[in-house]
Structure 1
Amino acid sequence: MKAYVFPGQGAQFTGMGKELYDTVPAAKESFEKANEILGFRITDIMFGGTADELKQTKVTQPAVFLHSVILAGSLPDFKPDMTAGHSLGEFSALVAAGALSFEEGLKLVSKRAQAMQKACEMQPSTMAAIIGLPDETVEEVCASIPEVVVAANYNCPGQLVISGSIEGIDKACEQLTAKGAKRALKLSVGGAFHSPLMEPARVELEEAIRAARFATPVCPVYQNVDAKPYTDPEKIKANLIAQLTAPVRWTQTVQNMIADGAASFTELGPGNVLAGLIKKVNREAACESKSTL
């Protein structure tokens, strides 16, 4: 079975999607439609912007989404048996599987980016990558700190990202280093994604998700909140709403996809982060990354 996976925020690079725009007429049309929907020329920033311009949440999230879904739509042999996406990438996975239209998906991603930006501004917060400790140890330390600190991204065995208040993350990094973490590295992100501090964004996005039209996807979509496959539009919506304040269970997602018969993984969109993580979850997994045709 063929599994397709889609990256999240952080995978962006200057020039992303340009080759598709230049060589595939239908891709160019989709990019131009996106410029119209968003009300600014995101393609100018994607193809020639600075790293800082690309890093703005209102740009990054739609940019990564557009690169992924337009690439999927341009592949002549795109017939997924299962899809999944990391955080923001879940929206790309849903559009690629036909659960959401391109337009609806882009509007939701744009709304999500703006809502998250607002939540970040309301309370300064951050995230940190913890390398080299069992998940349970990280969870225990987070639970012992009297601040908001939670496990946010289960990326692969021995790599867990935590999320929370700045003070909470500082304390957690200190304690986790003392417990033997190889690294406890604060990330340069705008806020505490996938934590209770994203509650204002979740409330705002819930309304937009409830109002959007979802269809039954052509294949199961493995969702972040519990790493399980879904085809029921109502359940997909509920999981998507919960996703903003819940952890991304990527390790478990990859394990479940393999257990359910995934013979190969193809990462579509910018970068190759997910292919690397999949290999760390299962060394035998066949995977490749594509950022153009």
Structure 2
Amino acid sequence: MSKIAFVFPGQGAQYTGMAKDFYEKFPVSREVFEKASKVSGLDIKTLCFEENKNLNITEYTQIAMLTAEIAILRAVEEAGIHSQVNAGLSLGEYGALAASGVMREEDAFAIVRKRGILMQEAYPTGGAMSAILGTDAELIEKICEETPGIVSIANYNCPGQIVITGEEKAVLTAGEALKAAGARRVIPLKVSGPFHCELLKEAGKKLGEELEKIEIQTFAIPYVTNVTAQYVTESDHVKNLLVKQVSSSVRWQQCVEQMINDGVDTFIEIGPGKTLTGFLKKINRNVKALHIEKIEDLEAVRKECL
């Protein structure tokens, strides 16, 4: 019997038309879009399905991505596919919390709408992020520590792919030092802010004030947090972790390794794209990496898992 983890992608995987086929075929998916629109005051269907510039602006991207993920998730659950643990990369952690039954959909949409706005406004100019390819985490950590200004690791994605974040000058300086030290490539990312670093601590604090307004439910299924890469089963810990997550490193590789150590042998990425599926193949080729973003994917995974 397989031990299944549902994993949810973060910001950057969005595209026009995501989850549209689920919306059109499954009433349970349609209800998710309607609920998200009602809670956020936005036309989420138009945001996700029609060409528009807002889809790639953080304050809109986050609510759109979460809606698509939960819409697909509900169809997956209705098909009889269930997980034993959940996790998500950055924004995707809210999809994991919905899958774990910890956060009501209405609350998840309200919080993520606010999170997107807070992160968009937190540091509108002067920040940067770069992907560092082909070198080890220890070297990147060392160079970040030695670089003047604010620069640190935003994402431990997989072996050979780490993202740095911080003040623009510090990120550029660290990138040059890493190239000189042998990094294969340094790729500046097109982002609207220096996410997952101390420059966003104030945004995390404000998010904490919003989180106080909602109730965290008892866990139906555990999830693994980006902040520590550990299992979380106690509802009391969730709000504090979500506050910290805004400004701390996303330890995605470590999250996956933790789940594998606990016996997970099948990962199902739920949502737009195959980003996490690609990371999984680089982290451990011995586990099964599946993804569901289209209805045909759901049929294929159902045959594989049931």
Q: Name 2:163's counterpart in structure 1.
A: 161
Normalization by structure 2: what TM-score? 0.93
Higher alpha-carbon deviation: 229-238 or 70-79: 70-79
Aligned to 1:69: 70
- Is the partner of 1:128 in helix, strand or coil? strand
What displacement does 1:292 show?
Answer: 2.9
| Larger CA deviation: 211-220 vs 9-18 | 211-220
Q: How far apart are 1:53 and its partner, in Å?
A: 2.6
Of the three residues 94, 105, 112, the one matched with 1:102 is 105
* TM-score of the superposed pair, with normalisation by structure 1: 0.97
Unaligned 5+ runs, structure 2: 296-306
Q: Distance in 1 between matches of 2:42 and 2:230?
A: 36
2:181 corresponding residue in structure 1: 179
Shift of 1:58: 1.6
CA contact (8 A) 1:72 1:78 kept: no
Local SS of the residue matching 1:133: coil
SS of 2:123's equivalent?
helix
> 2:222 is aligned with what amino acid?
P
Instruction: Flag as ranges the 4+ runs of structure 1 deviating above 4 A.
Output: none
* Alpha-carbon distance in structure 2 between the residues aligned to 1:227 and 1:289: 21
Residue aligning to 2:39: 37
SS state at 1:211 partner? coil
| Amino acid paired to 1:184 | V
8 Å contact kept, 1:9–1:88:
yes
Match of 2:301 in 1: none
Give the Å deviation of 1:263. 1.4
Give the counterpart letter for 1:119 in structure 2: A
- SS of the residue aligned with 1:36? helix
Deviations 1:55-107 (A, max 9, x none): 01121111111111111111221321000000000011001110001000011
Pairwise CA RMSD of aligned residues? 1.0
For 2:214, the aligned partner's letter is A
Report the CA distance between 1:49 and its aligned residue: 2.0
Which residue of 2 is the match for residue 111 of structure 1?
114
1:198 equivalent among 192, 200, 204: 200
- Which residue of the partner structure matches residue 81 of structure 1? 84
Q: 1:51-66 counterparts in 2 under 5 A? A: 52-66=53-67
The answer on 1:189 being equivalent to 2:191 is: yes
Contact map agreement 2:32 2:70 (CA 8 A) in 1: no
Q: Any residues of structure 2 matched to 1:253-292 within 5 Å, and which?
A: 253-292=255-294
How far apart are residue 45 of structure 1 and its match? 1.8
Greater alpha carbon shift after TM alignment, 209-218 vs 188-197: 209-218
Q: Report if the CA contact (8 A) 2:66-2:94 is conserved.
A: yes
Q: How many residues align?
A: 291
Larger displacement relative to structure 2 (24-33 or 14-23): 24-33
Q: Is the 8 A contact 1:42 1:59 kept in 2?
A: no
Give the match for residue 91 of structure 1: 94
| Structure 1: distance between partners of 2:154 and 2:178 | 15
1:208 — aligned with what?
A: 210
Amino acid at match of 1:154: Y
**1 CA distance for matches of 2:275 and 2:72?**
17
Aligned 8 A contact 1:6 1:267 in 2 = yes
User: Shift of residue 132 of structure 1?
Assistant: 0.6
| Structure 1 residue 158, shift from structure 2 partner | 1.3
Kindly state the Cα deviation for residue 196 of structure 1 after the two structures are TM-superposed.
0.4
Q: What displacement does 1:42 show?
A: 1.9
Does structure 1 conserve the Cα–Cα contact (< 8 Å) formed by 2:23 and 2:71? no
Counterpart position of 1:27: 29
Question: Which among 124, 137, 140 is matched to residue 139 of structure 2?
Answer: 137
Say if 1:14 and 1:48, in contact at 8 Å, map to a contact too. Answer: yes
Deviations 1:120-163 (A, max 9, x none): 22x42010000011100000000001100001100001111000
Q: 1:225·1:249 contact (CA, 8 Å) conserved in 2? A: yes
Unaligned runs of 5+ in 1: none
Between the aligned partners of 2:96 and 2:123, the Cα distance in structure 1 is 25
Report if the CA contact (8 A) 2:59-2:119 is conserved. no
Amino acid in the other structure paired with 1:49: E
Q: Please give the per-residue CA displacement for 1:228-255, whole angstroms capped at 9, x wherever unaligned.
A: 0001011122111110110000010000
Q: Secondary structure at the match of 1:185?
A: strand
